[in-house]
Amino acid sequence: MSKSQPRQVDIAIVGGGLVGASLALALRGSGLCIAVIEAFTPTAPEHPSYDDRTLVLNPVSCQILSRLGIAASLEQYGVPINSIHVSDRGHFGRVLLQARQHGLEWFGRVMEAWRLGQALLQQAQNCEQVHWLSPVRLNTIRSFDGGIELALDGADKLTTRLLVGADGAGSRVRELLHLPATQHDYQQTAIICNATPSKAHNGMAYERFTDTGPLALLPQAGQRVGVVWTVATDQAGSLLTLSDSEFLDGLQRRFGHRLGEFQRVGKRANYPLKLVRAETNTAHRSVLIGNASHTIHPISAQGFNLGLRDASTLANQLSNQTDPGTADLLQAYQLRRQPDQDETIRYTDSLARLYSNDSITGKLLRTSGLLAHQFIPALQRRLVLNAMGYRDHVG
């Protein structure tokens, strides 16, 4: 990774978050000259991508990430999920999925975002063809026949033959390209933290639907669990200002005693939840990937997994290309990614709406859905395959 700035590159990736960094790594060995433009220095405590959230990485993502050279970090820090317990607080019906019953060693691995970011950056440091420009912010763009000129805050102008927008939900690239996006505000906020219960999690992940929203507990190193607690946005403020012991009491009431008593809790952070979807992902010598293209509800732990499949497919299509920004190539990319994106977004959005619907019909649907999944193997299989990301596995 070089910090010097070239004047001209083949590919400029705006956004060095988890998806942008993955794409840069996936392109090493392609012979293309790449610039990553990132607004924050990698170690900045306020870095919006490399933070404390715990990510579930499905098996397809683990395979892709291993090919990017971070197998050792995944093995060392990625805690395997060997069973998943889904329940609805106060209602009959639950699903228990065991990896071994589905012929698997594990369903996925849980890793903190900052640790994953660090592992990706360590690999990027060995790539001479990747110029990592940070803290540098994209300001404006100007299109011309064979490329795009980028005006940057914090660096000189740069021209590129392909512009990749990997700059997250509020994408500046999407805005500058005038690509329309549909948005839906779930009026929900995810509160995340680490907590330590008195009983061992034994590699089980819990998803519990409660009257205030879904609550996920993900296994972490030692006895700790990563908590993702989704509540109505107008309730989030009070949960954030509770003392640690009041917060733990609330968590205990919502989750119950499957893991014994909650004893300790770490720093809390919050994320307002929206669905943002670009109606088109490509324009003249430009493409959107990751959250810039689709930001989804975390209920099914799919956002990064989906974005990583974007990066992997795009890198595959760009290999052995003399011109990385042709309309044909971008159209082929869009066609290839569309079904996976559509399906993942539809699945996640319908789950998010079903589990925040407090009507009698909504509750009945949830209970019958959970019961059906418990007793009908084909439905369980579908749930497992959806969760694991085997939709657009590019091999």
Please give the residue ranges that form the binding site for ligand FAD (CB under 6 A): 14-20, 37-40, 48-49, 53, 55-56, 137-138, 166-168, 172, 190, 192, 228, 271, 290-291, 298, 301-305, 307
The residue count for the chain: 395
Q: How far apart are CA 222 and CA 361, in angstroms?
A: 40
If the CB atoms of residues 170 and 339 are measured against ligand FAD, the closer one turns out to be 170
Instruction: Output the smallest distance, CB 23 to ligand FAD, in A.
Output: 9
Our CB check for ligand FAD shows the closer of 213 and 290 to be: 290
The CA distances from residue 107 to 56, 62, 111, 149, 372, in Å, are 9, 11, 13, 43, 20
Helix residue spans in the chain (DSSP H): 18-26, 59-65, 71-77, 113-124, 172-176, 233-241, 244-255, 303-318, 327-354, 360-375, 377-388
Q: Which is nearer to ligand FAD, 56 or 248 (by Cβ)?
A: 56
For residue 61, the minimal CB distance to ligand FAD (Å) is: 7
Residue number, 64 or 259, with CB nearest to ligand FAD = 64
| Least spacing, CB of residue 262 vs ligand FAD, in Å | 19
Q: Which is nearer to ligand FAD, 307 or 324 (CB)?
A: 307
Q: Specify the residue, 18 or 236, whose C-beta has the smaller distance to ligand FAD.
A: 18
Q: How many helices (H) and strands (E) does the chain have?
A: 11, 20
What is the token pair recorded at 256? 């119950």
Which CB, 37 or 74, lies closer to ligand FAD? Answer: 37
The nearest distance, CB 48 to ligand FAD, in angstroms, is 5
Q: What pairs with residue 131 in β-bridges? A: 2, 35
Please state the closest distance from residue 88 (CB atom) to ligand FAD, in A: 20
Q: Is 60 helix (H, G, I), strand (E, B) or coil?
A: helix
CA 373 → CA 7, 360, 377, distances in Å? 56, 20, 7
In the complex, least distance from residue 150 CB atom to ligand FAD, rounded to whole angstroms: 10
Cβ(91)–Cβ(363) under 8 Å?
Answer: yes
Separation between Cα atoms, residue 247 and residue 208, nearest integer Å: 17
Minimum distance from residue 163 beta carbon to ligand FAD (Å) = 12
